[in-house]
Structure 1
Amino acid sequence: MAGPLAALRRAAAKADAQTPASRDRALDGLRALALLAVPAGHWMLGGLTLSPDGALHNASPLTSLGFFAPASWLLQMLGVFFLVGGHSSVRSLERARERGAGTPAWLRGRAVRLLRPVLGVAAVWALLIPVLHRLGVPDGTVRTGSVLVVQPLWYIAVYLGLTALTPWCVALGRRFGGRSAAAMLAVVALVDALRYGPWADAVPSWLALVNILPGWMFAYQLGVLWAQGRLGRRAARLLLLGGGALFAALLLFFHYPASMVGVPGAARTNSHPPSLLVLALAAVQCGAAVLLRERIGRLLRRPLLWLPVVLVNLSAMTVFCWHQSAMLAVAVPGAAAFGAVPGLTTAPDSPAWVAGRLVLLPLFAAALVGIGRFARRFDGPWTSFPRAWKAVAGAGAAAFAVYALGVV
């Protein structure tokens, strides 16, 4: 036991020593926390059921376990993710301009870093689908797997769009300050009032799409303001308390769905596109993050706490792109070998399922670590890959995209 512990301490000390003094550890810690909430949320708020033909199908515990909805308030941390993203993009753009790089070059670099891992996971799945069919995996399972892999990738498209708008967000922040974020909240509130009010039947369904840009840009703009020094502790308290009051009012008096993620069969959803409840939660999360920044930074001065943050940030895109594949890597052979496994392939309709799923989380995490040892090579520059492999990867990714979009 002393040997592994000593090795862990040495690794932590090395990571601590290699971190520049100017590094904002609190931002890295917040990013790691929001990132880990993605697999935790998908693993806990998404289930699988086994049909008579042996195929796996998606199922949500929120359909039967209404008391489970508050878990989505903790596991949906996109507010923190976009807050840190906005802050980091401003700092990154400033450094690029100091080096003499233009905005197009900066944006191209950011896009390549985000899209390489997406291309990698899509290419691997394009090769994996025929292999799974040959191994006798049911078609329903393959379709379910494709949907699970594709579903989280919408975030990449949204994040790329917001990144492209960073110069305009900076300009808005300089000119209007906090009003730039408040205007986005006001737009979402107006759209929600139109689509959920007594006149909703006369409102076209496409109006909800208006919420996509201001809904997700709200927290990103707060991050831009934070980087500009325009989001202090006083504003953070207003976000925390005001967002909390708005969140409670929307739930208690305006009957918004309690779940922050979509529930199959529900007439309304908060997340696609984002509703005002999503922005209220984001305000609470962002306010808390700003208020806790110094405390988090002090905690992460401890090498043993800093090491996991470093590892998560270094593997950010691997975790994001491959966490659903890790769950499937456990569920598919588990279903083939054992059939109905509590918490894995049984209906998510009881507290026993929740307990079983909690027990399985370490197994999913271990599978993700194992996959990550292979998949991390897609995150960095592909200079070591032959040109022919890159062409095959591009074609395979395109084929998987067509297949997956057809399934979704």
Structure 2
Amino acid sequence: MSMQQGLPQQAHSAQDVRGTIAQRDLVVDLIRTACVVLVVFVHVTMVGVAAGADGIAVTSPLQELPWYVAATWIGQVMPLFFVVGGFASAVGWRSTVARGGGARDFVATRLVRLFRPAIPLFAVLALGLGVATLLGTPPGLLAEVAFGIGSPLWFLAAYGITQCCVPFMVRLHERAPWRTLGALLVLAAAVDGVRFATGTAAVGLLNLGPVWLFAQQLGFLWADGWFARRSRVLLVAVAAAGYGVLVPLTSIGLWAPDMLQDLDPPMLPLAVLAIAQACLVQVVHAPLTRLMRTRAAQGAVFLLGRDGMTIYLWHLPLFIALNGVALLVGVPFPAPGSPTWWATRGVALVVLLAVALGTARALRRFDRPLPRLVPGTDRPAWPVLAVAALCTIGPAFAVMQLHLSFGVALLGALAVPVGVRLLTRTVPTRSTARI
């Protein structure tokens, strides 16, 4: 092909890119990226490493601040993340249906996109924890480090569960959106009530469904344009009412005022927080839209956003590794919580994001989306998808329940690839098979 022949194609490609950008709600990409960066920053400020005569000590300077609990009412962005996920899921589901796909196609595509990046992580964690055990690392220190590294993996289980439910929940949303939201809120309150009445913390795991599905349903409303049709005054009033409800809710001794503490397992206050956050996002949607028209904002969001899942999964292991390397080479560590330590948090964030981006580039082959179905093919039957979902979600759920250990990491290193492999298989459609 000559250069002249190639130029129209290049121009057409550039127009397609600009058209795609124009059609997307870039505020969604901005919020999703900002949530990931904020999570990374919070962890950078929550992990303080000190080396002294008594050995290595790990503290949490952020949690020692007097305003920490109040800050969690703003910094706890996981409800908002699930709202944004609901928006993206609604758009993705409609796209799947428009091209002739169905529930199995959607679920398989979403689970692969979520869990394929986790394959190398579980492998590295199993190898690292195994080697550390063989080298005689003190069990207490190893358990503490493993607990910190594995703490973000709960998200894989929770988000994987909500993604499996999207086709069914969209149908409920289309038939009775408000009754569905109300039922989920009542279920969340009921689960918490049973947990408090019985004193059994494990009961709270049932709220992985109602709480996060409630936030996801709010995302469906966002995709329908419901929030955009409301006045700013109403949205601010609803958000204020949401925060107002949280005050007595977290003051009666059942739910913690620390919104991070209400995360594991998720509890009713997070559903209320999701309402307030969804309303406030719409209040600032117009200025955020103007911000996302700038090339600088688009570049930053696309740079970090396209590798957001890999950054989220790897940031704590990489942060621990970077601290370990710094200790080995003798880098001086300021006292955690000191003014010097706080002054270096911005540098630590930039370095960690840079290393995480480099890791994401090196692992790009594990971030491939599932190819679309070709005519005459379909995703595996529901029993196979159920096994695949168990293989992928199960190890992350085990981390959430049992905390990260060599055995749990090894389970993930073996089971997640099997689940992803099952999800990537295709079978002939019924009509093709019948022929």
| Structure 1 residue 233 displacement after superposition | 2.2
User: Structure 1's 229 and 17: CA in aligned 2 closer, same or farther, altered over 3 A?
Assistant: closer
Task: Tell me, in whole angstroms, the C-alpha distance in 1 between the residues paired with 2:134 and 2:405.
Answer: 21
2:118 is the alignment partner of 1:118: yes
- Return the letter of the residue paired with 2:41: A
Report what 1:221 is aligned to.
217
Report what 1:366 is aligned to.
354
Q: Give me the CA root mean square deviation.
A: 3.6
Task: Tell me, in whole angstroms, the C-alpha distance in 1 between the residues paired with 2:203 and 2:124.
Answer: 37
| Structure 1 residue 94 displacement after superposition | 1.2
2:263 is the alignment partner of 1:271: yes
**What is the aligned counterpart of 1:318 among 289, 300, 310?**
310
Q: With structure 2 as the length reference, what TM-score do the two structures score?
A: 0.72
2:296 is the alignment partner of 1:304: yes
Report what 1:233 is aligned to.
230
Contact 1:247–1:277 (Cα < 8 Å) also in 2: yes
Report what 1:245 is aligned to.
244
Task: Tell me, in whole angstroms, the C-alpha distance in 1 between the residues paired with 2:100 and 2:345.
Answer: 51
User: Structure 1's 168 and 236: CA in aligned 2 closer, same or farther, altered over 3 A?
Assistant: farther
Matching of residues 63-102 of structure 1 within 5 Å: 64-102=64-102
2:288 is the alignment partner of 1:291: no
- Return the letter of the residue paired with 2:274: A
2:177 is the alignment partner of 1:177: yes
- Return the letter of the residue paired with 1:327: F
Once the two structures are overlaid, the 10-residue window that deviates more, 216-225 or 39-48, is 39-48
- Return the letter of the residue paired with 2:408: L
Once the two structures are overlaid, the 10-residue window that deviates more, 81-90 or 374-383, is 374-383
Contact 2:123–2:409 (Cα < 8 Å) also in 1: no
User: Structure 1's 404 and 297: CA in aligned 2 closer, same or farther, altered over 3 A?
Assistant: farther
- Return the letter of the residue paired with 2:322: V
Task: Tell me, in whole angstroms, the C-alpha distance in 2 between the residues paired with 1:380 and 1:218.
Answer: 29
Task: Tell me, in whole angstroms, the C-alpha distance in 1 between the residues paired with 2:96 and 2:130.
Answer: 43
Any stretches of 5+ residues in structure 2 without a counterpart? 1-13, 372-391, 411-435
User: Structure 1's 356 and 71: CA in aligned 2 closer, same or farther, altered over 3 A?
Assistant: farther
Task: Tell me, in whole angstroms, the C-alpha distance in 2 between the residues paired with 1:28 and 1:323.
Answer: 19
**What is the aligned counterpart of 1:208 among 204, 207, 212?**
204
- Return the letter of the residue paired with 1:214: P
Contact 2:125–2:406 (Cα < 8 Å) also in 1: no
Task: Tell me, in whole angstroms, the C-alpha distance in 2 between the residues paired with 1:15 and 1:271.
Answer: 41
| Structure 1 residue 221 displacement after superposition | 0.9
User: Structure 1's 354 and 70: CA in aligned 2 closer, same or farther, altered over 3 A?
Assistant: farther
| Structure 1 residue 314 displacement after superposition | 0.8
| Structure 1 residue 339 displacement after superposition | 7.6
Q: SS state of the match for residue 262, structure 2?
A: coil
Contact 1:16–1:306 (Cα < 8 Å) also in 2: no
Contact 1:178–1:230 (Cα < 8 Å) also in 2: no
Q: Can you list the C-alpha shifts for 1:257-282, whole angstroms capped at 9, x where unaligned?
A: 33222xxxxxxx31112223222222
Q: Can you list the C-alpha shifts for 1:326-352, whole angstroms capped at 9, x where unaligned?
A: 211321022233387125xx4x5x666
| Structure 1 residue 362 displacement after superposition | 2.6
User: Structure 1's 14 and 67: CA in aligned 2 closer, same or farther, altered over 3 A?
Assistant: farther
Contact 1:191–1:210 (Cα < 8 Å) also in 2: yes
Task: Tell me, in whole angstroms, the C-alpha distance in 1 between the residues paired with 2:308 and 2:201.
Answer: 36
Task: Tell me, in whole angstroms, the C-alpha distance in 2 between the residues paired with 1:259 and 1:240.
Answer: 19
- Return the letter of the residue paired with 1:25: L
Contact 2:122–2:409 (Cα < 8 Å) also in 1: no
Task: Tell me, in whole angstroms, the C-alpha distance in 2 between the residues paired with 1:355 and 1:295.
Answer: 30
- Return the letter of the residue paired with 2:222: W
Task: Tell me, in whole angstroms, the C-alpha distance in 1 between the residues paired with 2:323 and 2:368.
Answer: 29
Task: Tell me, in whole angstroms, the C-alpha distance in 2 between the residues paired with 1:251 and 1:63.
Answer: 18
Q: SS state of the match for residue 273, structure 1?
A: coil
Task: Tell me, in whole angstroms, the C-alpha distance in 2 between the residues paired with 1:32 and 1:375.
Answer: 19
| Structure 1 residue 116 displacement after superposition | 0.7
| Structure 1 residue 62 displacement after superposition | 5.4
Contact 2:146–2:405 (Cα < 8 Å) also in 1: no
Once the two structures are overlaid, the 10-residue window that deviates more, 87-96 or 179-188, is 179-188
| Structure 1 residue 95 displacement after superposition | 1.0
Contact 2:112–2:369 (Cα < 8 Å) also in 1: no
**What is the aligned counterpart of 1:379 among 361, 367, 387?**
367
Task: Tell me, in whole angstroms, the C-alpha distance in 2 between the residues paired with 1:203 and 1:37.
Answer: 33
- Return the letter of the residue paired with 1:35: V
| Structure 1 residue 190 displacement after superposition | 4.1
Any stretches of 5+ residues in structure 1 without a counterpart? 1-12, 262-268, 384-393
Matching of residues 120-159 of structure 1 within 5 Å: 120-129=120-129, 142-159=142-159
| Structure 1 residue 256 displacement after superposition | 4.2
Once the two structures are overlaid, the 10-residue window that deviates more, 34-43 or 236-245, is 236-245
Provide the identity percentage.
Answer: 30
User: Structure 1's 141 and 339: CA in aligned 2 closer, same or farther, altered over 3 A?
Assistant: farther
2:323 is the alignment partner of 1:331: yes
Contact 2:185–2:211 (Cα < 8 Å) also in 1: yes
Task: Tell me, in whole angstroms, the C-alpha distance in 2 between the residues paired with 1:34 and 1:321.
Answer: 13
Task: Tell me, in whole angstroms, the C-alpha distance in 2 between the residues paired with 1:380 and 1:292.
Answer: 33
